[in-house]
């Protein structure tokens, strides 16, 4: 599958890069490894395959006891060359097309929003209090580390746009879709086209007008008003059976203020829609809007059941 091919290509590129004694970008490499367990697995398999190739090539090199020992630096360069040959032999030249990932992060402060243009009619609107990772060498990839983002994607069957969010993989099928990931919730809501969720595991098709959400025992798909998908860009928050704990996170992200939840009411769910600006100006106004209690304590606005 395309996702497998891309991960193998990236693993091959990282194996070549980290095999170079001059390699220094360990932070980016570590970030790539931590994005998904499959990255580390693919890298380990690649290095193991290359190691076998190195052993074969090294064994085929005639020994000459009469020659002086090879200096350390030239020997490292020689091993780097063997590594490159092993990669070419075991993985094929196709893996070299993309080059090593060049990762960078975009992080927004609570209450702020940002749009990242990735070219080819593809853009990502990032909600406040969110962080995403992108690859300069692969504009068809993004990773949502936490927060919320709306993806507007030009579909390309030969190079589908891929999003990782925690352990989840999302592949576009010609799409506008909203992804949310935080301690309280994970969801993918589609307003146009469709996405494939976890194509290597559950392989769930999420169509326009549907939202896939994480539950205690897996995932569920429910209908969603297309107009509400990504409505946070227009300064509105919509909640559908959301726990107050999740609502507090969304409010903090959107307003830039600190909202907390009364622990006794954390699991209570509500449904409603609010404009962000009035709440930012007067957090207490949230009470009658959603039918909840709003109090101020220790610099935070605490929401709970009445």
- The percentage of the chain sitting over the pLDDT mark of 70, rounded to a whole number, equals 81
Tell me the pairing of strands 204-207 and 194-197.
Answer: antiparallel
CB 147 within 8 A of CB 107: no
pLDDT at 93: 36
What is the rounded CA–CA span in Å between residue 154 and residue 47? 35
- Lookup result for tokens 């227009």: 234
**Is residue 34 over pLDDT 80?**
no
Neighbour count for residue 117 (Cβ, 10 Å)? 10
pLDDT in tens, 153-208: 998 988 999 999 998 999 998 899 999 999 999 999 999 999 999 998 888 999 99
pLDDT at 22: 77
CATH fold match for the domains 103-228 and 235-304: no
Host H or E run for residue 154: none
Contacts with 276 (C-beta within 8 Å, 6 or more apart), sequence order = 232, 235, 236, 237, 254, 255
**Is residue 9 over pLDDT 80?**
no
Q: Please, which pLDDT band fits residue 98 given cuts at 50, 70 and 90?
A: very low
pLDDT at 62: 53
* Structural tokens at position 229: 């998908």
- Lookup result for tokens 């709440």: 279
**Is residue 90 over pLDDT 70?**
no
Q: Is 87 helix (H, G, I), strand (E, B) or coil?
A: helix
Which class is domain 235-304? alpha beta
**Please, what's the b/e burial string for 238-265 (b: 16 or more CB within 10 A of its CB; e: otherwise)?**
bbbebbbbbbbbbbbbbbeeebbbbeeb
pLDDT at 5: 62
pLDDT in tens, 201-248: 888 999 999 999 999 888 999 999 999 999 999 999 999 999 999 999
pLDDT at 52: 58
Contacts with 69 (C-beta within 8 Å, 6 or more apart), sequence order = none
The runs of H, that is alpha helices, within the chain are 2-18, 26-35, 37-60, 72-91, 244-255, 276-281, 286-290
pLDDT at 19: 75
The residues spanned by each domain of the chain are: 2-96, 103-228, 235-304
Closest CA to 123 of 131, 115, 132: 115
**Is residue 70 over pLDDT 70?**
no
What is the rounded CA–CA span in Å between residue 16 and residue 19? 5
What is the rounded CA–CA span in Å between residue 212 and residue 230? 14
User: In a 10 Å sphere around its CB, with 0-12 CB exposed, 13-18 middle and 19+ buried, how is residue 105 labelled?
Assistant: exposed
- Lookup result for tokens 């169509």: 207
pLDDT in tens, 37-66: 778 877 777 877 766 555 555 555 555 544
Q: Is the pTM of this model over 0.85?
A: no
pLDDT in tens, 254-287: 999 999 999 999 999 999 999 999 999 999 999 9
- Distances from the Cα of 160 to the Cαs of 42, 142, 154, 285, in angstroms? 20, 12, 9, 44
Signed CA dihedral, 20, 49, 140, 159: sign only: positive
Signed CA dihedral, 89, 93, 94, 98: sign only: positive
What is the rounded CA–CA span in Å between residue 187 and residue 147? 11
Q: What does the mean pLDDT of the chain come to? A: 84
**Is residue 92 over pLDDT 70?**
no
Radius of gyration of the chain (CA): 24
**Is residue 71 over pLDDT 90?**
no
Which listed CATH number (3.30.2020.30, 3.30.750.210, 2.60.120.1440, 3.30.1330.10) goes with 103-228? 2.60.120.1440
pLDDT in tens, 287-300: 999 999 999 998 89
């Amino acid at each position: 599958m395309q996702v497998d091919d891309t991960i193998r290509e990236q693993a091959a590129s990282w194996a070549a890069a980290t095999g170079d004694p001059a390699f220094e970008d360990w932070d980016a490499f570590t970030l790539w490894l931590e994005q998904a367990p499959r990255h580390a697995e693919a890298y380990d398999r690649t290095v193991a395959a290359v190691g076998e190739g190195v052993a074969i090539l090294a064994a085929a090199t005639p020994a000459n006891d009469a020659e002086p020992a090879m200096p350390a630096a030239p020997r490292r360069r020689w091993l780097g060359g063997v590594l490159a040959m092993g990669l070419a032999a075991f993985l094929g030249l196709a893996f070299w097309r993309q080059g090593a990932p060049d990762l960078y992060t975009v992080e927004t402060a609570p209450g702020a929003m940002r749009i990242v243009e990735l070219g080819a009619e593809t853009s990502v609107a990032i909600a406040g209090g969110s962080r995403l990772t992108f690859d300069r060498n692969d504009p068809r990839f993004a990773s949502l580390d936490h927060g919320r983002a709306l993806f507007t994607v030009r579909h390309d069957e030969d190079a589908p746009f891929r999003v990782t969010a925690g352990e989840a993989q999302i592949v576009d099928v010609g799409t506008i879709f909203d992804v949310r990931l935080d301690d309280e919730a994970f969801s993918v809501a589609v307003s146009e086209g469709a996405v494939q969720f976890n194509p290597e595991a559950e392989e769930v098709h999420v169509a326009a007008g549907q939202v896939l959400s994480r539950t205690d025992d897996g995932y569920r798909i429910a209908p969603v008003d297309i107009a509400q998908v990504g409505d946070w860009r227009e300064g509105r928050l919509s909640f559908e059976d959301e726990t107050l704990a999740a609502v507090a996170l969304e409010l903090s992200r959107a307003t830039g203020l600190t909202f907390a939840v009364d622990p006794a009411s954390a699991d209570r769910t509500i449904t409603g829609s609010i404009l962000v600006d009035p709440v930012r100006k007067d957090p207490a106004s949230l009470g009658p809007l959603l039918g909840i209690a709003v109090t101020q304590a220790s610099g935070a606005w605490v929401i709970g059941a009445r």
